[in-house]
Structure 1
């Protein structure tokens, strides 16, 4: 993506939504904008002087982030993938314990490594029962888990495979799914949600920097574990069956497959449009709201009505629990749930948001920053040439539309049918 400053400094953004532009007066004011929001020196900006065509062209990386954090792309250790002729060989390696979860095609058990005494979660999938499509999803999950290494993504230790089954030896999260924890607590306090979203944003930012899009983020796919040293609870992202590895950025790498879980789907997916990694950020916003209130931000009795509410994007911040949360919490959630993905916060921007960092001068989406900066200039009524700035083209926000109805028991009950992933996939829970 490029920002071109031409003549009177017209900034253009090239992406799937086309060209967005705003007159930014003159170059010295553009510099003021960049310096004010601490962009120069923290992002991949390159300045090219083209005197005849334009004073300057700014070229940046596909995702502009203010106060960009250092990369976490640590090279993962090699994950052994061993073929075994007899399943009984595993009995000599692991002592199988209690069942953690069970699905149509397999089972997850707690297991103890006999040689080291360390506890693991062993996921066993019957390839014959699963069928070719589910096996492909499983192989995709294994492939992605082998290439990632992050403290808030589930760790795959090793894989064993027979002609009939595949065994994934994974990190054990003794507190199970975040969804189950929410059922017990009904809702979380804001000070409990903030570190969860911080961990989640860190993991998703890492994936996106690796061109990996999860595509099925939800409470059931987030596991909870306790840090052995500090005793603090932390989360681990799991279940990469629907995840995809892109070939980079740009329109040609947008995704089209309709998949995910209805109540976590962003407007661009339910509207059958191409979409990007920003679908994960929308799901993060749904998760944050869900944890704070005990219910999702968009609710309906049926799928079609749910999709209508999602496309409108109206969020109720006056309901029980959520109305008492901080303004910064509302702002961050609103930023993650922008209907237009171009205006939605990125995962890295969420990580730098003042709700997460506690620093009040946290960053925002660059398009929002440019609009805010331009509005501040417009308060004077004129640009630095003495001409009115009213002809400047606004960076549009999503239009306000009708509101969805209030919560009721029948609506909440209907969520059971709207919280399942839409694809034929392996029916084995990650860990319960």
Structure 2
């Protein structure tokens, strides 16, 4: 049954989880971020709750949209907008010529999004190339969005003291002072602007001590003859070591770099013809080793990370979670609405049993996978028993009932589930 969330690819990894690409069952694609909460301490759980709270309240064309959340016993799934173009770091490493027109558009969009966040007293605390996502692979039509709010914080007093983020992008006051303000985000964005406009990091170093020392030096620009003076001025304002003298986002948007038309000589900046050098990039040899390591894991008879070899169990888990939530909802509704939900779930459960049984046959000898399948089968049996206890009747107006429920519910997850039901009865 295709009209339900279906994971298709692994597209990213982090400390506590992974990001997958999925078909949403409604004709679109989403990014699914699975976070293992059982591996988190109290501080990390607090950051996750803060991330969910912040993403649930923000809505801006240049921030990644959190569509809904699915909570399990030991994990949380964040279902988010999928940005096909990938992150900006990857884009810059694979595209050697970018029009100044696109650069100006992306930079102004990022400042606009940051202005919106700051107006809500939200500090991102981890602005970097890898956390900016492009909506399409085509630069001409791509919009840019701020993603990964894992370190974001709602600023109560206007100051914070936690050292979080990526060192290369962290403002000097974070290393030197007990407290820092939302202006630290401006510094991080300044580092990003420097990288986009010059193709390299402003501080080339290998240790924290060296980084802190270089932050106190005068910022220098390579290829000075081809970089617009307006661009240099903008970056220097953002990389002012005194946070009080750094402009806010409103002032940045009024800067002459954005208001003055670029001259023809700026259309293709010379540096874009050079090779990019970004701190943290793997060498070709390291990338080759990673590929060999992945291939070895794929061949392993006793692999532990089943998600990277087959998404079947992961999809089973998600589908069962969705079914469980819909069953909980049905118990609160009148007979007709309950019958509508159960009519949708019954064939889905039958299909999941077939999938489970085929997985048993395919994975005999893989102890970990069999344990996972056993746990999923117990849940599915319980669901099946609950559905069997109800006398499901066929109604021609199930779609109308589903549409009526869709209008009544505001919860994003429930709205998604009801949209699936409407699509199912639509044929």
- Same-fold call, TM > 0.5? yes
State the alpha-carbon separation in 2 of the partners of residues 354 and 200 from structure 1. 17
Residue aligning to 2:83: 173
Which of the numbers 122, 128, 146 marks the counterpart of 2:38?
Answer: 128
Instruction: Say yes or no: does 1:296 pair with 2:207.
Output: no
Q: Which residue of 1 aligns with 2:180?
A: 275
Task: Write out the 4+ residue segments of structure 1 that deviate beyond 4 Å after TM superposition.
Answer: 186-189, 412-417
Q: From the two aligned structures, give the one with the greater helix fraction.
A: 2
Is residue 94 of structure 1 aligned with residue 5 of structure 2?
yes
* Structure 2: runs of 5+ lacking an equivalent: 263-276, 283-427
Q: Could you say what the CA RMSD is over the residues aligned between the two structures, in angstroms? A: 2.6
- Normalised by the size of structure 1, how large is the TM-score? 0.58
- Alpha carbons 1:197, 1:284 under 8 Å: kept: no
Q: Secondary structure, in 3 states, of the residue corresponding to 1:253?
A: coil
Instruction: Quote the offset at 1:162 in angstroms.
Output: 1.1
Larger RCO of the pair (alpha carbons < 8 Å, separation 6+) = 1
- How does 1:374-413 map onto structure 2 within 5 Å? none
Which 10-residue stretch deviates more, 282-291 or 91-100? 91-100
Q: Per-residue displacement from partner, 1:155-212 (whole Å, max 9, x unpaired)? A: 0010010111111110000011111111213575533321111011001000111111
Partner of 2:189: 284
Tell me the SS of whatever aligns to 2:230: helix
Q: Which of residues 213, 217, 220 is equivalent to 1:316?
A: 220
Counterpart check, 1:238 vs 2:147: yes
- In the alignment, structure 1 residue 255 sits paired with structure 2 residue 160: yes
Structure 2 distance, partners of 1:102, 1:328, is 38
TM-score when scaled to structure 2? 0.58
SS at match of 2:68: strand
Structure 1 distance, partners of 2:280, 2:8, is 33
Q: Going by fraction, where is strand more abundant, 1 or 2?
A: 1
1:326 to 219, 228, 249: 228
Residue 272 of structure 1 deviates from its aligned partner by 2.7
Which aligned pairs between 1:21-420 and structure 2 lie closer than 5 A?
93-114=4-25, 116-185=26-95, 188-226=98-136, 232-247=141-156, 252-312=157-217, 314-317=218-221, 319-320=222-223, 323-358=225-260, 415=280
Structure 2: distance between partners of 1:273 and 1:311: 18
Structure 1 residue 359: deviation in Å? 6.9
Tell me how many residue pairs correspond in the alignment: 268
Q: Distance in 2 between matches of 1:414 and 1:236?
A: 22
Q: Which moved more, 1:188-197 or 1:297-306?
A: 188-197
Structure 1: gaps spanning 5 or more residues: 1-89, 361-411, 418-432
Structure 1 121/266 Cα, relative in aligned 2: closer, same or farther at 3 Å? same
> Measured at CA, do residues 263 and 124 of structure 1 come closer, stay the same or move farther in structure 2, by a change above 3 Å?
same
